[in-house]
Chains A and B, each alone.
Chain A
């Protein structure tokens, strides 16, 4: 094995704004700058602004809240400047604006989710009502165009304990599943699909010892203390699974996993060294098994769909969309269309806020146009908020790659392959 010389540029600051050579390449790729002239842009908000803020925090500009934290600037920067992190840190350190009541509601996805799912039959029709949406718009400044994701009657965790937990012990290999708020409160089916696939692949699926919301919405809404507390809790829960039980943690939400792997240490200062490598997306986990020949997936013959894949910003930053798209392309009946990677504009709770509505839709427009003219059956993507945004703004519905795989997979044939093999080995 050849070891390269690690080239580590020297920085005096905590972040690496000194590496900026002022080339302005990042500004070309910032989706907000393209539609909203009030936003100073990545270079100005990030490394340039940081220089000033170090001298005098008074230089902090509240317009930084317009940043989507999409990290597309970081992906483009030739010098590895952590522009997005610099901007988010500046907001955390310097913003004087207190989170509004509305922000608390949007940010506390788990508390609100658990209340709403308890009253799902009431809440769903209510938030769908025009007058209610007008009030939310007028009083809470949640844009009335927004359609709230429906809350499920039975939470995923409840379903799991009642109907799935016991069976998981039948498997020899095991993983933990960080389901996230969306699967728990809004769309348990996605979690069920994951269990179906992992079981077919020979893995039992377990819940963490009490997962908490990853906290991405708390961070973006300035509720840092609470976010840090939840991050510490989650890292401990992950350690119990990964270190104590030797069970890697997988998730179906690209944003949750990105937050846990990268934003915990970068923005909240919560160390995650011990768990980072084994916390990943389910599609990456599955891809690794297939790629290394340890798993073979058998698909139904009659599955035929034309599918476009949208790369969520955090997948772009992680560089992981290849895992999801490779798995989808393995399905023989899939006619695969790749969309040019562009931000959809929602950025979690950002697009829900009335003041951001126009920017949000403006950012997403090129993507929506691509989708509307692509003539596909539906769109695939790994992020739930992208799903809401695309479903609201285009004529297409959106499915998670895991759900698509679950529908196309021939479970019995897939299981037979490894069951035969392990039978042979044990003979």
Chain B
């Protein structure tokens, strides 16, 4: 089966590549063994939040201070600004709406009650421009009875530092009794599904309005609008105080909605999404990847002129560590990382862990290396690339988006 381009992995990187290539008229396929890390997204897409332990306010400028091996440096300072403009536009066309810009971080209120810098935040949430203050003084933190994935006390404690007086209240509703019966099912997505159906929002709003008398603002967990984003807009329109949503413990409702919008956009552009299929191996000839074999398609190989590996990091098994080995499981590509296991971990847990920088080795054009040789038509994008501790420095989505856009430019050249 022949495509112009095949992308391995359907996370933020794979989808970004697929959408951009399809927008340029390429016949593309994405093969993904399962759903991706976007399902756990907070709702904020980070570009760069921290360098050498210092918080960043101007990410584009701060990128210059990163190591040469960092994916941003390898994309090139001269390209980053342009690609960082392009990324939100691409996501916009898929229906994702944001606040925020690349030359100046804004702040979002985290579930821990602190202000965290970010680049693009979905418009479910509220963007703040101050780290050390909160615009309201009398705050109601509202939760659903039985919902354990939103730690109201953390938020309350965090807000104390801003000299905010907050109070916690719970709402019980009949509509949630069925899912509450089983505490492990009282999760954000299941609550969101009830609201999606449309008939309980009004009852909720009525209660929230009553409870919020005497407060200036309501803080709520982000459990609105899984399949239907309108629920969020309606909530904000109907509640008679400003509403600040805060991410709950994953799975993330806005994250999953984003995943669905992106895959829909890719398919509407004519892309083929092979969901639930695993790429098992590849066939190489003269330093080119000729075709790949997948679990579902077996002897019917998938061929393409160019391939992109966007199979994610450890979590998605884009790279795998066993007790004695670190490897890339599909093709056995070269790995950027220490072969000596004793060097993987820093025993201080909160330190920048070496293994978080591990990934697939690529040449300056982001082509994968195998036994030191670049594979001419196999590119690498997203978190499967090494060179950064995305969690520590707050650069996860940024690396995925910008390396993906850059790789696509190499392919389109």
A residues bordering B, Cβ < 8 Å? 1-7, 22-25, 27-28, 33-34, 37-38, 40-41, 43-44, 48, 74-80, 277, 284, 287-288, 291, 316-320, 322, 326, 338, 340
Contact = CB atoms under 8 A, between A and B. Distances in A.
B94 to A, nearest CB: 15
Contacts of A7: 317, 320, 329
A322 B272 contact: yes
Contacts of A2: 281-284, 331-332, 370
A340 B327 CA distance: 36
Contacts of A338: 267
Contact of B189 (A24, A80, A291): A24
Contacts of A38: 178
Given A2-B332, A338-B267, A37 B179 contact: yes
B359 interface: no
Contacts of A277: 298-299
A288 B301 CA distance: 10
Nearest 7 pairs of A and B residues by beta carbon: A319-B296, A75-B276, A78-B34, A37-B178, A7-B329, A319-B277, A4-B281
Contacts of A320: 296
A28 B185 contact: no
Contact of A25 (B39, B284, B298, B327): B39
B187 interface: yes
Interface of B: 1-2, 33-36, 39-40, 178-179, 182, 184-185, 187, 189-190, 193, 226, 250-251, 256, 264, 267, 272, 274-278, 280-284, 294, 296-300, 316-317, 320, 327, 329-332, 370
Nearest to B294: A319
Nearest to A366: B227
Contacts of A287: 1, 300
Contacts, number: 112
A9 to B, nearest CB: 9
Contacts of A318: 296
Contacts of A28: 189, 226, 251, 256
Contact of B327 (A5, A43, A319): A5
B327 A24 contact: no
Nearest to B39: A25
A23 B37 CA distance: 11
Contacts of B316: 78
B300 A288 contact: yes
Contacts of A3: 281, 332
B144 to A, nearest CB: 16
A317 B332 contact: no
Contacts of A24: 187, 189-190, 251
7 contacts: A3-B332, A5-B329, A7-B317, A44-B182, A48-B184, A74-B276, A77-B35
A7 B299 CA distance: 20
B338 to A, nearest CB: 18
Contacts of B274: 319, 322
A326 B1 CA distance: 10
A3 B189 CA distance: 40
B185 A319 contact: no
A41 to B, nearest CB: 6
A180 to B, nearest CB: 21
Which of B178, B185, B274, B282 has its CB near the most chain A CB atoms (within 10 A)? B185
Contacts of B187: 24, 27
Contacts of A75: 34, 275-276
A25 B35 contact: yes
Contact of B1 (A4, A37, A322): A322
Contacts of A23: 39-40, 250-251
A329 B267 CA distance: 16
Contacts of A22: 184
A75 B278 CA distance: 11
Contacts of A4: 280-281, 329-332
A6 B193 CA distance: 38
A22 B149 CA distance: 13
Contacts of B281: 1-4
Nearest to A37: B178
B297 A77 contact: no
Contacts of A316: 275-276
A5 B182 CA distance: 40
A33 B250 CA distance: 19
B282 A291 contact: no
Contacts of A326: 1
A28 B35 CA distance: 11
Given A34-B193, A319-B297, A41 B276 contact: no
